[in-house]
Protein backbone atom coordinates (compact mmCIF):
# COMPACT_ATOMS: atom_id res chain seq x y z
CA UNK A 1 0.00 0.00 0.00
CA UNK A 2 3.05 2.21 -0.25
CA UNK A 3 2.34 2.59 -3.96
CA UNK A 4 -0.86 2.35 -5.93
CA UNK A 5 -1.56 -1.24 -6.89
CA UNK A 6 -1.46 -2.49 -10.42
CA UNK A 7 -5.05 -2.79 -11.54
CA UNK A 8 -6.09 -6.40 -11.88
CA UNK A 9 -9.16 -6.88 -14.06
CA UNK A 10 -10.97 -9.97 -12.92
CA UNK A 11 -14.46 -11.28 -13.47
CA UNK A 12 -16.38 -13.87 -11.52
CA UNK A 13 -19.60 -15.74 -11.57
CA UNK A 14 -21.20 -13.88 -8.72
CA UNK A 15 -24.65 -12.50 -9.49
CA UNK A 16 -26.04 -9.15 -8.36
CA UNK A 17 -29.30 -10.16 -6.73
CA UNK A 18 -31.82 -7.33 -6.70
CA UNK A 19 -31.23 -4.22 -4.63
CA UNK A 20 -30.17 -6.14 -1.53
CA UNK A 21 -27.00 -7.37 -3.24
CA UNK A 22 -27.14 -10.86 -1.74
CA UNK A 23 -23.55 -11.53 -2.62
CA UNK A 24 -21.61 -14.61 -1.56
CA UNK A 25 -24.45 -15.67 0.73
CA UNK A 26 -22.62 -18.88 1.56
CA UNK A 27 -20.11 -16.71 3.41
CA UNK A 28 -22.59 -14.54 5.31
CA UNK A 29 -26.24 -14.82 6.29
CA UNK A 30 -28.65 -12.84 4.12
CA UNK A 31 -30.06 -11.32 7.31
CA UNK A 32 -26.83 -9.40 8.01
CA UNK A 33 -27.47 -5.70 8.63
CA UNK A 34 -25.09 -2.78 8.29
CA UNK A 35 -24.61 -0.65 11.36
CA UNK A 36 -21.92 1.55 12.86
CA UNK A 37 -19.80 -0.13 15.52
CA UNK A 38 -16.20 0.13 16.66
CA UNK A 39 -16.07 -3.58 17.53
CA UNK A 40 -17.76 -5.36 14.60
CA UNK A 41 -19.01 -4.98 11.04
CA UNK A 42 -21.46 -6.98 8.99
CA UNK A 43 -20.73 -8.58 5.65
CA UNK A 44 -20.81 -6.05 2.80
CA UNK A 45 -19.70 -3.22 5.12
CA UNK A 46 -17.43 -0.70 3.40
CA UNK A 47 -14.09 0.37 4.85
CA UNK A 48 -10.83 2.16 4.16
CA UNK A 49 -7.14 1.59 4.79
CA UNK A 50 -4.84 4.46 5.65
CA UNK A 51 -1.18 5.29 6.24
CA UNK A 52 0.80 8.36 7.23
CA UNK A 53 0.05 10.15 3.95
CA UNK A 54 -3.66 10.20 4.83
CA UNK A 55 -5.28 12.47 7.41
CA UNK A 56 -5.03 11.68 11.09
CA UNK A 57 -8.73 12.58 11.35
CA UNK A 58 -10.97 9.99 9.70
CA UNK A 59 -14.26 11.76 10.40
CA UNK A 60 -14.84 12.59 6.73
CA UNK A 61 -14.40 8.95 5.76
CA UNK A 62 -16.87 7.83 8.40
CA UNK A 63 -19.42 10.37 7.18
CA UNK A 64 -18.89 9.08 3.64
CA UNK A 65 -19.92 5.60 4.78
CA UNK A 66 -16.75 3.85 5.97
CA UNK A 67 -17.45 1.38 8.76
CA UNK A 68 -13.95 0.09 9.36
CA UNK A 69 -10.44 1.46 9.02
CA UNK A 70 -7.28 -0.58 8.53
CA UNK A 71 -4.39 1.55 9.80
CA UNK A 72 -0.77 1.01 8.89
CA UNK A 73 1.07 0.44 12.16
CA UNK A 74 4.57 -0.45 11.02
CA UNK A 75 7.03 -1.47 8.34
CA UNK A 76 10.09 -3.69 8.56
CA UNK A 77 11.64 -3.46 12.01
CA UNK A 78 12.23 0.28 12.27
CA UNK A 79 9.23 2.28 11.02
CA UNK A 80 6.12 3.09 13.02
CA UNK A 81 3.29 5.16 11.56
CA UNK A 82 3.50 8.60 13.25
CA UNK A 83 -0.22 9.17 12.62
CA UNK A 84 -1.23 5.65 13.60
CA UNK A 85 -2.38 6.40 17.15
CA UNK A 86 -4.50 9.34 16.00
CA UNK A 87 -6.02 7.36 13.13
CA UNK A 88 -6.97 4.44 15.37
CA UNK A 89 -8.41 6.81 17.96
CA UNK A 90 -10.35 8.67 15.27
CA UNK A 91 -11.71 5.43 13.83
CA UNK A 92 -13.03 4.36 17.24
CA UNK A 93 -14.45 7.82 17.96
CA UNK A 94 -16.35 7.66 14.67
CA UNK A 95 -17.73 4.16 15.31
CA UNK A 96 -15.43 2.52 12.77
CA UNK A 97 -13.90 -0.82 13.68
CA UNK A 98 -10.10 -0.39 13.75
CA UNK A 99 -7.70 -2.91 12.25
CA UNK A 100 -3.99 -2.74 11.55
CA UNK A 101 -1.47 -3.74 8.92
CA UNK A 102 2.28 -4.12 8.71
CA UNK A 103 4.21 -3.60 5.47
CA UNK A 104 6.46 -6.65 5.12
CA UNK A 105 10.08 -6.45 4.02
CA UNK A 106 11.15 -9.96 5.05
CA UNK A 107 10.86 -11.38 1.50
CA UNK A 108 10.89 -15.14 2.22
CA UNK A 109 13.00 -15.15 5.38
CA UNK A 110 10.98 -16.84 8.14
CA UNK A 111 13.33 -15.73 10.89
CA UNK A 112 13.07 -12.10 9.82
CA UNK A 113 9.31 -12.52 9.41
CA UNK A 114 9.04 -13.40 13.10
CA UNK A 115 11.05 -10.32 14.05
CA UNK A 116 8.85 -8.12 11.88
CA UNK A 117 5.74 -9.65 13.41
CA UNK A 118 7.03 -8.90 16.89
CA UNK A 119 7.70 -5.32 15.84
CA UNK A 120 4.21 -5.09 14.34
CA UNK A 121 2.73 -6.36 17.59
CA UNK A 122 4.65 -3.88 19.73
CA UNK A 123 3.66 -1.10 17.31
CA UNK A 124 0.00 -2.10 17.38
CA UNK A 125 0.01 -2.03 21.17
CA UNK A 126 1.86 1.29 21.30
CA UNK A 127 -0.58 2.89 18.86
CA UNK A 128 -3.65 1.67 20.74
CA UNK A 129 -4.97 -1.06 18.46
CA UNK A 130 -7.34 -3.07 20.68
CA UNK A 131 -6.33 -6.60 21.60
CA UNK A 132 -8.20 -9.09 19.45
CA UNK A 133 -8.21 -6.80 16.41
CA UNK A 134 -7.22 -7.93 12.94
CA UNK A 135 -3.56 -7.33 12.14
CA UNK A 136 -2.52 -7.99 8.55
CA UNK A 137 0.74 -8.79 6.83
CA UNK A 138 0.89 -6.52 3.77
CA UNK A 139 2.91 -8.55 1.30
CA UNK A 140 3.86 -6.85 -1.97
CA UNK A 141 6.85 -5.47 -3.82
CA UNK A 142 8.56 -2.34 -2.54
CA UNK A 143 10.93 -1.26 0.21
CA UNK A 144 13.26 -4.12 -0.70
CA UNK A 145 10.66 -6.87 -0.32
CA UNK A 146 11.38 -9.61 -2.88
CA UNK A 147 8.29 -11.64 -3.77
CA UNK A 148 9.83 -13.98 -6.38
CA UNK A 149 11.76 -16.43 -4.19
CA UNK A 150 9.26 -19.25 -4.62
CA UNK A 151 5.70 -19.93 -3.53
CA UNK A 152 6.41 -22.45 -0.77
CA UNK A 153 9.26 -20.68 0.98
CA UNK A 154 7.35 -17.40 0.79
CA UNK A 155 4.22 -18.96 2.30
CA UNK A 156 6.28 -20.45 5.15
CA UNK A 157 7.68 -17.03 5.98
CA UNK A 158 4.23 -15.44 5.88
CA UNK A 159 2.85 -18.18 8.13
CA UNK A 160 5.70 -17.55 10.57
CA UNK A 161 4.55 -13.92 10.70
CA UNK A 162 0.89 -14.87 11.13
CA UNK A 163 1.69 -17.37 13.86
CA UNK A 164 3.36 -14.64 15.92
CA UNK A 165 0.36 -12.36 15.42
CA UNK A 166 -2.05 -15.05 16.59
CA UNK A 167 0.11 -15.91 19.61
CA UNK A 168 0.00 -12.26 20.68
CA UNK A 169 -3.80 -12.23 20.73
CA UNK A 170 -4.47 -10.49 17.43
CA UNK A 171 -6.25 -12.00 14.43
CA UNK A 172 -3.86 -12.54 11.49
CA UNK A 173 -4.71 -11.58 7.92
CA UNK A 174 -2.68 -11.64 4.71
CA UNK A 175 -2.98 -8.71 2.32
CA UNK A 176 -1.78 -9.06 -1.28
CA UNK A 177 -2.96 -8.46 -4.80
CA UNK A 178 -4.82 -11.29 -6.49
CA UNK A 179 -1.86 -11.67 -8.85
CA UNK A 180 0.64 -12.11 -6.01
CA UNK A 181 -1.65 -14.55 -4.23
CA UNK A 182 -1.91 -16.66 -7.37
CA UNK A 183 1.62 -16.43 -8.70
CA UNK A 184 4.00 -15.80 -5.81
CA UNK A 185 2.55 -17.46 -2.70
CA UNK A 186 1.37 -20.97 -1.91
CA UNK A 187 -1.91 -19.42 -0.85
CA UNK A 188 -3.78 -22.71 -0.23
CA UNK A 189 -1.32 -23.46 2.58
CA UNK A 190 -2.15 -20.09 4.14
CA UNK A 191 -5.89 -20.65 3.91
CA UNK A 192 -5.55 -24.21 5.20
CA UNK A 193 -4.04 -22.97 8.45
CA UNK A 194 -5.98 -19.70 8.64
CA UNK A 195 -9.29 -20.08 6.81
CA UNK A 196 -10.90 -16.84 5.61
CA UNK A 197 -7.77 -14.82 6.34
CA UNK A 198 -7.18 -13.18 2.95
CA UNK A 199 -7.45 -9.47 2.24
CA UNK A 200 -7.18 -9.33 -1.54
CA UNK A 201 -6.63 -6.34 -3.82
CA UNK A 202 -8.10 -6.36 -7.33
CA UNK A 203 -9.38 -3.33 -9.22
CA UNK A 204 -11.84 -3.41 -12.09
CA UNK A 205 -11.10 0.16 -13.25
CA UNK A 206 -8.87 3.08 -12.34
CA UNK A 207 -10.10 6.40 -11.00
CA UNK A 208 -12.92 7.10 -8.59
CA UNK A 209 -15.02 4.14 -7.46
CA UNK A 210 -17.80 4.58 -4.92
CA UNK A 211 -18.93 1.01 -4.34
CA UNK A 212 -17.73 -2.49 -5.25
CA UNK A 213 -18.88 -4.13 -8.48
CA UNK A 214 -19.02 -7.78 -7.52
CA UNK A 215 -18.92 -8.86 -11.12
CA UNK A 216 -15.17 -8.27 -10.76
CA UNK A 217 -14.69 -9.94 -7.41
CA UNK A 218 -11.46 -12.01 -7.52
CA UNK A 219 -13.16 -15.30 -6.76
CA UNK A 220 -10.90 -17.45 -4.60
CA UNK A 221 -11.14 -19.36 -1.36
CA UNK A 222 -10.51 -17.71 1.98
CA UNK A 223 -11.30 -14.04 1.26
CA UNK A 224 -12.42 -11.96 4.24
CA UNK A 225 -11.90 -8.46 2.75
CA UNK A 226 -11.70 -7.20 -0.83
CA UNK A 227 -9.85 -3.97 -1.66
CA UNK A 228 -11.56 -2.85 -4.85
CA UNK A 229 -10.21 0.67 -5.46
CA UNK A 230 -7.41 3.05 -4.54
CA UNK A 231 -9.68 6.10 -4.91
CA UNK A 232 -12.80 5.53 -2.86
CA UNK A 233 -15.39 8.24 -3.51
CA UNK A 234 -12.67 10.48 -4.90
CA UNK A 235 -10.95 10.72 -1.50
CA UNK A 236 -7.63 9.19 -2.69
CA UNK A 237 -8.04 6.45 -0.12
CA UNK A 238 -8.18 2.69 -0.70
CA UNK A 239 -11.72 1.33 -0.59
CA UNK A 240 -12.56 -2.10 0.84
CA UNK A 241 -15.59 -4.28 1.47
CA UNK A 242 -15.98 -6.97 4.11
CA UNK A 243 -16.96 -10.28 2.55
CA UNK A 244 -17.55 -11.82 5.97
CA UNK A 245 -18.88 -10.46 9.25
CA UNK A 246 -15.81 -9.26 11.16
CA UNK A 247 -15.45 -8.69 14.87
CA UNK A 248 -12.84 -7.75 17.45
CA UNK A 249 -14.54 -9.61 20.26
CA UNK A 250 -15.14 -13.36 20.35
CA UNK A 251 -13.52 -16.02 18.21
CA UNK A 252 -11.54 -14.85 15.21
CA UNK A 253 -13.33 -15.28 11.93
CA UNK A 254 -10.06 -16.52 10.47
CA UNK A 255 -9.93 -19.38 12.93
CA UNK A 256 -13.59 -20.15 13.64
CA UNK A 257 -14.72 -23.72 12.98
CA UNK A 258 -17.79 -24.26 10.83
CA UNK A 259 -20.94 -24.68 12.91
CA UNK A 260 -22.97 -27.49 11.26
CA UNK A 261 -26.20 -25.74 12.26
CA UNK A 262 -25.33 -22.26 10.99
CA UNK A 263 -28.01 -21.20 8.53
CA UNK A 264 -26.99 -19.74 5.15
CA UNK A 265 -28.88 -18.54 2.10
CA UNK A 266 -27.40 -19.12 -1.34
CA UNK A 267 -28.25 -19.25 -5.02
CA UNK A 268 -28.46 -22.46 -7.03
CA UNK A 269 -26.28 -21.78 -10.06
CA UNK A 270 -26.90 -25.14 -11.75
CA UNK A 271 -29.92 -27.44 -11.40
CA UNK A 272 -29.33 -29.27 -8.13
CA UNK A 273 -30.73 -32.71 -7.36
CA UNK A 274 -31.37 -33.62 -3.73
CA UNK A 275 -29.50 -36.60 -2.28
CA UNK A 276 -29.54 -38.58 0.93
CA UNK A 277 -26.33 -38.90 2.93
CA UNK A 278 -25.79 -42.37 1.43
CA UNK A 279 -25.62 -40.78 -2.02
CA UNK A 280 -29.08 -41.92 -3.16
CA UNK A 281 -31.05 -39.35 -5.17
CA UNK A 282 -34.45 -38.48 -3.63
CA UNK A 283 -36.22 -37.29 -6.79
CA UNK A 284 -36.43 -33.68 -5.63
CA UNK A 285 -34.42 -30.86 -7.16
CA UNK A 286 -33.84 -27.10 -7.11
CA UNK A 287 -34.08 -25.04 -10.30
CA UNK A 288 -31.11 -23.02 -11.48
CA UNK A 289 -30.99 -19.48 -10.07
CA UNK A 290 -33.46 -20.27 -7.30
CA UNK A 291 -32.74 -19.37 -3.68
CA UNK A 292 -31.68 -22.12 -1.31
CA UNK A 293 -31.17 -22.41 2.45
CA UNK A 294 -28.42 -24.69 3.72
CA UNK A 295 -26.68 -25.43 7.00
CA UNK A 296 -23.01 -25.45 7.98
CA UNK A 297 -20.27 -25.88 5.41
CA UNK A 298 -19.23 -28.53 2.93
CA UNK A 299 -19.54 -32.18 3.89
CA UNK A 300 -18.97 -35.51 2.15
CA UNK A 301 -21.66 -37.93 1.05
CA UNK A 302 -21.03 -41.64 1.42
CA UNK A 303 -20.08 -41.78 -2.28
CA UNK A 304 -17.34 -39.20 -1.66
CA UNK A 305 -19.03 -36.28 -3.39
CA UNK A 306 -18.82 -32.85 -1.77
CA UNK A 307 -22.23 -31.56 -0.69
CA UNK A 308 -24.08 -29.08 1.52
CA UNK A 309 -26.98 -29.98 3.80
CA UNK A 310 -30.36 -28.45 2.97
CA UNK A 311 -32.48 -30.37 5.48
CA UNK A 312 -32.70 -33.53 7.53
CA UNK A 313 -30.79 -36.13 5.47
CA UNK A 314 -31.14 -33.89 2.41
CA UNK A 315 -28.11 -32.65 0.48
CA UNK A 316 -27.22 -30.99 -2.83
CA UNK A 317 -23.85 -31.05 -4.53
CA UNK A 318 -21.70 -28.15 -3.33
CA UNK A 319 -20.48 -27.34 -6.84
CA UNK A 320 -24.00 -26.36 -7.88
CA UNK A 321 -24.17 -23.63 -5.22
CA UNK A 322 -20.67 -22.79 -3.98
CA UNK A 323 -18.90 -23.60 -7.23
CA UNK A 324 -15.46 -25.00 -7.98
CA UNK A 325 -12.37 -22.78 -8.05
CA UNK A 326 -10.50 -22.86 -11.35
CA UNK A 327 -7.75 -20.85 -13.04
CA UNK A 328 -7.53 -19.85 -16.70
CA UNK A 329 -4.51 -21.04 -18.67
CA UNK A 330 -5.27 -18.54 -21.44
CA UNK A 331 -7.52 -15.57 -22.16
CA UNK A 332 -11.13 -16.72 -22.46
CA UNK A 333 -14.31 -15.33 -23.96
CA UNK A 334 -17.70 -15.76 -22.27
CA UNK A 335 -20.57 -17.27 -24.25
CA UNK A 336 -24.33 -17.52 -23.94
CA UNK A 337 -26.26 -20.77 -23.83
CA UNK A 338 -26.77 -20.73 -27.62
CA UNK A 339 -23.01 -20.52 -28.27
CA UNK A 340 -22.90 -16.82 -29.18
CA UNK A 341 -20.61 -14.38 -27.38
CA UNK A 342 -22.02 -12.85 -24.21
CA UNK A 343 -21.32 -9.15 -24.72
CA UNK A 344 -22.20 -8.25 -21.13
CA UNK A 345 -19.18 -10.15 -19.82
CA UNK A 346 -15.58 -9.06 -20.32
CA UNK A 347 -12.87 -11.43 -21.46
CA UNK A 348 -11.18 -13.37 -18.67
CA UNK A 349 -7.42 -12.93 -18.58
CA UNK A 350 -4.86 -15.72 -18.37
CA UNK A 351 -4.16 -16.64 -14.75
CA UNK A 352 -7.44 -15.24 -13.44
CA UNK A 353 -9.36 -17.34 -10.91
CA UNK A 354 -13.08 -18.03 -11.30
CA UNK A 355 -15.84 -20.16 -9.85
CA UNK A 356 -17.57 -22.65 -12.16
CA UNK A 357 -20.88 -24.28 -11.33
CA UNK A 358 -22.07 -27.80 -11.94
CA UNK A 359 -20.62 -30.33 -14.41
CA UNK A 360 -19.49 -29.67 -17.96
CA UNK A 361 -22.25 -28.34 -20.19
CA UNK A 362 -22.45 -29.19 -23.89
CA UNK A 363 -23.18 -26.37 -26.34
CA UNK A 364 -23.14 -27.17 -30.05
CA UNK A 365 -21.01 -30.23 -29.38
CA UNK A 366 -18.37 -28.41 -27.30
CA UNK A 367 -17.82 -28.63 -23.53
CA UNK A 368 -18.32 -25.52 -21.41
CA UNK A 369 -18.49 -24.63 -17.73
CA UNK A 370 -21.10 -22.24 -16.37
CA UNK A 371 -19.66 -19.16 -14.64
CA UNK A 372 -22.88 -17.18 -14.24
CA UNK A 373 -26.43 -16.83 -15.47
CA UNK A 374 -26.38 -17.59 -19.22
CA UNK A 375 -22.59 -17.24 -19.05
CA UNK A 376 -20.26 -20.08 -20.10
CA UNK A 377 -16.58 -20.55 -20.89
CA UNK A 378 -15.02 -23.40 -22.82
CA UNK A 379 -13.66 -26.15 -20.58
CA UNK A 380 -10.41 -26.31 -22.53
CA UNK A 381 -9.30 -22.88 -21.28
CA UNK A 382 -8.66 -24.07 -17.72
CA UNK A 383 -5.46 -25.43 -16.25
Residues belonging to the active site: 49, 140
- Can you tell me the distance from the alpha carbon of 253 to that of 243, in angstroms, rounded to the nearest whole number? 11
Pairing of strands 223-229, 263-267: unpaired
Question: Do residues 165 and 131 make contact, with C-beta atoms less than 8 angstroms apart?
Answer: no
- The DSSP result for 105-122, as a single string, is --TT-HHHHHHHHHHHHH
DSSP state of 253: G
Closest CA relative to residue 319, chosen from 362, 280, 275: 275
With residues binned 3-state (H G I as helix, E B as strand, rest as coil), the percentages for the chain, rounded to 5, are 20, 35, 50
Rg (alpha carbons) of the chain, rounded to whole number: 21
Question: Do residues 87 and 54 make contact, with C-beta atoms less than 8 angstroms apart?
Answer: yes
- Can you tell me the distance from the alpha carbon of 99 to that of 246, in angstroms, rounded to the nearest whole number? 10
Question: Do residues 288 and 271 make contact, with C-beta atoms less than 8 angstroms apart?
Answer: yes
- Can you tell me the distance from the alpha carbon of 13 to that of 18, in angstroms, rounded to the nearest whole number? 16
Closest CA relative to residue 35, chosen from 26, 27, 44: 44
- Can you tell me the distance from the alpha carbon of 354 to that of 347, in angstroms, rounded to the nearest whole number? 12
Cα distances from 68 to residues 45, 100, 135, 143, in angstroms, run 8, 11, 13, 27
Amino acid sequence: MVKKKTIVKLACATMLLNSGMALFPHLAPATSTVQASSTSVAAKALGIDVASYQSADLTAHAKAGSQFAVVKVSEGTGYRNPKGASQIKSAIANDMMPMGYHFATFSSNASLAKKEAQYAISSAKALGLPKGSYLACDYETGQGNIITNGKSVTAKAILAFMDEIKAAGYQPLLYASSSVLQNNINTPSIVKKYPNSLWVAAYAISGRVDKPNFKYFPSMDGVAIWQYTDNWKGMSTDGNVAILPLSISGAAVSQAPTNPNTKHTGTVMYKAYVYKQNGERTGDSYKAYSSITYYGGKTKLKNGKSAIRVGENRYVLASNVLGNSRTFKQDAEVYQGDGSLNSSWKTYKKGSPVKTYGPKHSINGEDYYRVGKDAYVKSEVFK
